[in-house]
Amino acid sequence: METIFDHNVTGVEIELLNSFIPSRVIRNKEKYMVNVDLDKSNADLFHLYILRGESIKAEQYLNKIKDPKYKYILSSF
């Protein structure tokens, strides 16, 4: 599974990603991998590329999300 850690996420970006997801906290790759599923990983990649100002790449990850409700909520960004 592809994750934010495969995309050279920075400490600052992790802090910003944590603000998107108040119910969970990203600390390190090992703990992240225990609690993430494919849709959450793609959502985090979507958010990461939104933060980086790369909307086309962000949309590619949004389109990989299978849960229609989750995808709909994220599409409001």
Q: How much of the chain exceeds pLDDT 70, in percent?
A: 99
The residue-averaged pLDDT of 40-48 equals 96
Which domain does 24 fall in, by range?
A: 4-74
**Res 5: pLDDT:** 97
Cβ atoms of 34 and 3 within 8 Å: the answer is no
Q: What letters, b where the CB count within 10 A reaches 16 and e where it falls short, cover 41-70?
A: bbbbbbbbbbbeeeeebbeebbebbeeeee
The residue-averaged pLDDT of 33-60 equals 96
Number of domains in the chain: 1
**Res 7: pLDDT:** 98
Top pLDDT among 47 and 21 is at 47
The pTM (predicted TM-score) of the whole model is 0.93
Sign of dihedral through CA atoms 57, 5, 16, 73?
positive
pLDDT higher than threshold 80 for residue 42: yes
First to last CA, the chain: 24
Long-range contacts formed by 18-27: CB under 8 A, 24+ apart: 20/47
